[in-house]
Amino acid sequence: MAKTTGKEAMTTERTVLILPGDGIGPEVCRQVRRVIDWLGRTQGLVFKLEDGLVGGASIDQHGVPLTEETMQRALAVDAVLLGAVGGPKWDDVDFDIRPEAALLRLRSELGLFANIRPAKVFPALADASTLKPDVVAGLDIVIVRELTGGIYFGEPRGISELPDGGRRGVNTQVYTTDEIRRVAAIAFETAAARSGRLCSVEKANVMESGRLWREEVTRLQAESYPSVELTHMYADNCAMQLVRNPKQFDVIVTDNLFGDMLSDEAAMLTGSLGMLPSASLGEADRAGHRRAMYEPVHGSAPDIAGRDIANPIAMLLSLAMMLRHSFALHDQADLLEGAIDNVLSGGMRTQDIMGPGMARVSTGVMGDSIMRALDKLNA
């Protein structure tokens, strides 16, 4: 995406819907608002913020996890920032109105077919991983997962009774050319903006849908992205390579099922859920603008909610992804990521990433420190 600079950046109004949700969602979203205010004050960037309820908070107020009105607002804005949904309070609600149903509806109606998850190890946190520091130090990879197709949605599906009294469960892996090409295009663009290396992952050795995946990705590369170096890997090997030598990868693109597992595996290389952002992107309109939702990988963490100890960094890094992907504000995204890096290097830690000799701080104090680091970087 091209850089937005100067006058254009100052005058463009960007509409953002913030859906804090449940548990620690509102706590981490509070820190996001502070940074957005800061961007307005110091960078002259105009954001029009809207608020809404999602998940359990919406069930409590309206009886459903996402109202029609909130859905329409999500469709109308430039980007959605979501905290997290769910918690024990809503464990017994009807399946159809469970908090997570809101996420599925948002993803499906916004047409968010590409999920982008960076797994980056901040230098100061190399020892937080369960892997040896030298395996993960400096790790910076991105997994692009197809999000709205494949085996989670394919038909036929279901459980049926068999004449012998047994039962049969069926799910179907289906991908079309278009579904493969549109997510691969995002992956190629992501790779082109980084080191120019993309690894496409499937099981072409045993699955026809995998063979099609490999052929279509290869064709797209030849047609439109000849400068990106494309390799292919079977998903089982990728799972192994991610723990053996994760730094061999730059960008990985894969289907919904394999992406579900591989992105969680890659996430854990970094050591903490509280550090991991994600972006989900939809089709680009004529002006090149994509519908988009940004959210941390973690859930609502009911075990620590309301105690001001949650790590706000995953949410703030999701904001950085929004600045980059929805608004091409790369300099401001760099500033925010740089501020977070500096605060971690200075030894500040929320409890989830605490290490020996470090200073344990609350959510609020972590936010304060990041604001101060932003001021310093911007001075």
State yes or no: is 236 an active-site residue: yes
Among 19, 35, 45, 85, binds ligand NAD (CB under 6 A): 85
Check if 152 is active-site: yes
The contact mask relative to ligand NAD for 250-279 (x = CB under 6 A, - = no) is -----------------------xx-----
346's torsion region: left (phi>0), alpha (psi -120 to 50) or beta? alpha
Instruction: Look up 294 and say whether it is catalytic.
Output: no
Binding span for ligand NAD by CB under 6 A among 10-18, 36-44, 81-89, 230-238: 81-89
Question: Rule CB under 6 A: is residue 282 a binding residue for ligand NAD?
Answer: no
Q: Which is nearer to ligand NAD, 142 or 301 (CB)?
A: 301
Q: Where in 18-37 is the site for ligand NAD (CB under 6 A)?
A: 24
Of 152, 247, 308, 368, which residue is the catalytic one?
A: 152
Catalytic residue among 264, 308, 341, 368: 264
Among 111, 154, 302, 338, binds ligand NAD (CB under 6 A): 302
Find the part of the chain contacting ligand NAD (CB under 6 A) among 138-146, 159-167, 285-293, 308-316: 308-316
Using CB under 6 A, pick the residue from 20, 52, 87, 149 that binds ligand NAD.
Answer: 87
Nearest approach, Cβ of residue 122 and ligand NAD (Å)? 15
- Please say which residue, 22 or 250, places its beta carbon nearer to ligand NAD: 22
The structure tokens listed for 109 are 């109606």
* Nearest distance from C-beta of residue 221 to ligand NAD, angstroms: 32
Residue 173 C-beta: closest distance to ligand NAD, Å = 24
Q: Which residue is nearest to ligand NAD (CB)?
A: 299
Q: How many C-beta atoms lie closer than 10 Å to residue 345's C-beta?
A: 13
Neighbouring CB atoms inside 10 A of 156's CB total 8
In the chain the first and final C-alpha atoms are separated, in Å, by 27
Active-site residue identified among 78, 175, 203, 225: 203
Which parts of 310-339 interact with ligand NAD (CB under 6 A)? 310-311, 314
Q: Which of the following is catalytic: 140, 260, 308, 334?
A: 260
Report the candidate in 324, 278, 322, 325 with the shortest Cα–Cα distance to residue 299: 278
* Contact stretch for ligand NAD (CB under 6 A) within 83-91, 113-121, 162-170, 219-227: 83-91
Stretch that binds ligand NAD, among 70-78, 117-125, 239-247, 293-301 (CB under 6 A): 293-301
- In this structure, what is the dihedral angle of CA atoms 348, 266, 250, 188, given to the nearest 10 degrees? -120
Candidate list 20, 210, 299, 367; residue touching ligand NAD; CB under 6 A: 299
3-state secondary structure the chain: CCCCCHHHHHHCEEEEEEEEECCCHHHHHHHHHHHHHHHHHHHCCEEEEEECCCCHHHHHHHCCCCCHHHHHHHHHCCEEEEEECCCHHHCCCCHHHCHHHHHHHHHHHCCCCEEEEEEECCHHHHHHCCCCHHHHCCCEEEEEEECCCHHHCEEEEEEEECCCCCEEEEEECCCCHHHHHHHHHHHHHHHHCCCCEEEEEECCCCCHHHHHHHHHHHHHHHHHCCCCEEEEEEHHHHHHHHHHCHHHCCEEEECHHHHHHHHHHHHHHCCCHHHCEEEEEEEECCCCCEEEEEEECCCCCCCCCCCCCCCCHHHHHHHHHHHHHCCCCHHHHHHHHHHHHHHHHCCEECHHHCCCCCEECCHHHHHHHHHHHHHHHHC
Q: Is 48 a catalytic residue?
A: no
Q: Which of 36, 80, 84, 121 binds ligand NAD (CB under 6 A)?
A: 84
Of positions 352, 367, 369, 370, contacts ligand NAD by CB under 6 A: 352
Which of these ranges, 59-67, 84-92, 225-233, 262-270, lies near ligand NAD under the rule CB under 6 A?
84-92
Residue 3 annotated in active site = no
Residues that bind ligand NAD (CB under 6 A): 24, 84-87, 100, 103, 273-274, 295, 298-304, 310-311, 314, 350, 352
Tell me which residues are annotated as active site: 152, 203, 236, 260, 264
